[in-house]
Structure 1
């Protein structure tokens, strides 16, 4: 039996699913003249260029600015006698300590900007790529801070001919701003330790996120030390202009894009929970109504950070993807009980207010490069894929969905997917079943005799000419990505996004 025959919506089971799993159209409780999200409508006619497509030059400009800032910092150090100070053992240690401190401070500010949710930067890179760079820059800056501390203590101790502990204590207690800088460094140590993967796995998301916010305080506490004892920060007018500008840019970006814009959008769109619908065991959809949602400029495939005003814990934000294309008055998200607050969403009462941040993510029509599509989803990863299948433009036979789940009961949106198959010609292939024992394959255990890339070629013989959208657990996405690459799909036609933290 060929793999492509199993679970396809083209076999008789599709009609049975439509009959035995009926589902009322989303939005049926309100009288609105247009289709609400979750119903299958006629395919949209997209513009020739997606209106919110990321501009390549935005990405280039952002990257160039980051590298240029490093060049400026080194140039300011040189202008303040950086090379000339590298004389003798103590001078070399102190001079290099100054340089590592300057570069570390610059990288800390770049790290803040990477997570400032600047819209044009976020659309160009995507949140998972920005998070990866944020992590890399963060560990690099922290290592440079350690080098800065060690080199300065060694250089000052060599110059004063004192012991290392004596010199360290003298710096902390007698130099202006050093007590605050020491407190800031302690906070950065806490953030770095809790960001190590082994530590993160032991922490709830909310706990980790709260601890991570102390990084902002750590950066802030370092400023007096830099201004009062860091001669390189204030040595010239150019140095003062540069450092005040980048600090103002970092602080302004946080205030505007992390606080102001979400507050404005929450007030403007006034989202409230309309109803909660059970989709599958431990899976619910929340239907949210609001005002002028089209002004959010959200797209299928994107996600928001959601905070539900339901009592204790309302301040904890959770990233959930849209599971239907945005509608002028409606949004829908679908959530699986994975702990860390998601279980409580099944009991959210209609009328509950919602705070939002977003939309974020670039798993949208804007990244599309080919006419034909292959969509790969596993588990709750079907949510952005389901929305994309309705919003994207394609003709019958040009889109294939491969949907993995542990059991038949875990296949959510079965009714809606079969409707898409009937109305828009999507070829839907369901693959329920437990994973192979080594858990390295995206195929169910019963297909463990097949190679992943061979299975992909059986399902979609011309997959190398498709855009491939992937969403699911990280290990599963890695397996699918590797299989698609082996099957001949160019890397630029592979589109996936992770909720990294």
Structure 2
């Protein structure tokens, strides 16, 4: 809550500052040009805010979670796209209204005569392409690596847009204070990305020198990978968090995949447990001991940091049991664990979960059966956990199952602050 409130307050405060500098710069006689300039300024502000959202700074990530930051980034991105389109349309039509040129020739004239406009056109074209491939229809049909490679061109658009603002922005140059503000805004956003996406991961990996220490098949479709390294007791990882793992083999070094820790960090070893879902996850079964690992993280707010009640319910679906199993190791107070799978054979790590529940005095319920009828509907949840509304609820599993359980929790009156979940999604 603190992180969300802080980010919202920062954005609103900057929106006010931008409006003040815009007013101080004076207004053009043409209303379309005024609207175009204002849209461009707020597009620039949101672009800088987007960089902060994907900087993966630990303070924000631990308090908000990468899934929520990514969701905000997505909607901020579409807002930027519409503001940039409004900026271009209003500016072109505004100048065309004051000249004898039609809008197309007016755009060509601006590109040829005003420094920075051509760069702005290229930046807008890049944003349009990125926006198109980020739409849900296209996103589902693209491999993550392809989408991510295209998405990286957003950074080129950011640089081009900033140089356009420096060259042609009347508000940018309206006063020394305005110029200093925009340089500080862009500089701070770019510094956050540089620190969170490059400096911190490189420093941590050079420090810890991670390597694969064991590869253990759990069944025909699931494998656990054990990773060791130096000074792991100083790695700020907690149960429930995940890393972006790169296994530095000849054919997989360029792929980064988000996998949760399936055991609480003990200062000596990290463990991830992965279900085969594609070529990348299937290849983990064939990793050799000693393979170098580059890991970004830890990430995620799905931890005990946000506990609000002394007792808890842990609900897992399928391989979503991995962070749940790790959390059970770390949780204090009475816990009820509900593990939802199609058949007994799908219950990955069930023996570990059973032994751990027994050692910690937790209740464990294995719920099996097809998705329909819903075995975790409100009556069933209320039967399994009569005092559900008095507990923290941790939830991890496939999206359809999570959506259904979240609906059941709301129907049973579980307060929002007591519900903890995280969806794995990446951006930027």
TM interval, short-chain normalised: over 0.9
Q: 1:347 aligns with which of 269, 286, 292?
A: 286
Which residues of 2 match residues 376-387 of structure 1 at below 5 A?
Answer: 376-387=315-326
Tell me which residue corresponds to 2:380.
455
State the TM-score, normalized to the length of structure 1.
0.83
Matched, 1:97 2:42: no
Q: 2:328 aligns with which of 384, 389, 394?
A: 389
Do the aligned partners of 1:206 and 1:340 also contact (CA within 8 Å) in 2?
A: no
Gaps of 5+ in 1: 1-55, 444-451
Q: 1:414 aligns with which of 333, 338, 350?
A: 350
Matched, 1:468 2:404: no
State the TM-score, normalized to the length of structure 2.
0.97
Tell me which residue corresponds to 1:287.
226
Identify which of structures 1 and 2 has the higher relative contact order when contacts are C-alpha pairs closer than 8 Å and 6+ apart: 1
Tell me which residue corresponds to 2:206.
267
When the two chains are superposed, the root-mean-square deviation of aligned CA atoms in Å is 1.4
Which residues of 2 match residues 232-381 of structure 1 at below 5 A?
Answer: 232-339=171-278, 341-381=280-320
Q: 2:19 aligns with which of 74, 78, 93?
A: 74
Q: Which digits, 9 at most, give the CA deviation of each residue in 1:265-303, with x for residues without a partner?
A: 111111100111111231111000111112121110001
Cα distance 1:456–1:58, how it changes in 2: closer, same or farther (>3 A)? closer
Q: 2:370 aligns with which of 406, 422, 434?
A: 434
Gaps of 5+ in 2: none
Q: Which digits, 9 at most, give the CA deviation of each residue in 1:141-162, with x for residues without a partner?
A: 1100000000000001001121
Do the aligned partners of 1:301 and 1:384 also contact (CA within 8 Å) in 2?
A: yes
Tell me which residue corresponds to 2:123.
184
State the secondary structure of the residue aligned to 1:478: helix
Greater shift, 421-430 or 98-107, is seen at 421-430
State the secondary structure of the residue aligned to 1:234: coil
Q: 1:226 aligns with which of 165, 173, 188?
A: 165
Q: Deviation at 1:184?
A: 1.6
State the secondary structure of the residue aligned to 1:401: strand
State the secondary structure of the residue aligned to 2:124: helix
State the secondary structure of the residue aligned to 1:287: strand
Q: Deviation at 1:58?
A: 4.7
Do the aligned partners of 1:291 and 1:328 also contact (CA within 8 Å) in 2?
A: no
Tell me which residue corresponds to 2:8.
63
Matched, 1:488 2:413: yes
Q: Deviation at 1:228?
A: 1.1
Distance (Å, rounded) in 1 between the aligned partners of 2:358 and 2:190: 51
Distance (Å, rounded) in 1 between the aligned partners of 2:6 and 2:307: 22
Distance (Å, rounded) in 1 between the aligned partners of 2:143 and 2:359: 42
Do the aligned partners of 1:128 and 1:500 also contact (CA within 8 Å) in 2?
A: yes
Matched, 1:143 2:79: no
Q: Deviation at 1:59?
A: 4.1
Do the aligned partners of 2:112 and 2:118 also contact (CA within 8 Å) in 1?
A: yes
Distance (Å, rounded) in 2 between the aligned partners of 1:442 and 1:104: 46
Do the aligned partners of 1:285 and 1:335 also contact (CA within 8 Å) in 2?
A: yes
Do the aligned partners of 2:3 and 2:64 also contact (CA within 8 Å) in 1?
A: no
Q: Which digits, 9 at most, give the CA deviation of each residue in 1:449-475, with x for residues without a partner?
A: xxx101011101111111110000112
Q: Deviation at 1:344?
A: 1.4
Tell me which residue corresponds to 2:403.
478
Distance (Å, rounded) in 2 between the aligned partners of 1:178 and 1:300: 50
Do the aligned partners of 1:274 and 1:351 also contact (CA within 8 Å) in 2?
A: yes
Higher Rg of the two aligned structures: 1
Q: Which digits, 9 at most, give the CA deviation of each residue in 1:311-349, with x for residues without a partner?
A: 133122111110000111100001111116212111111
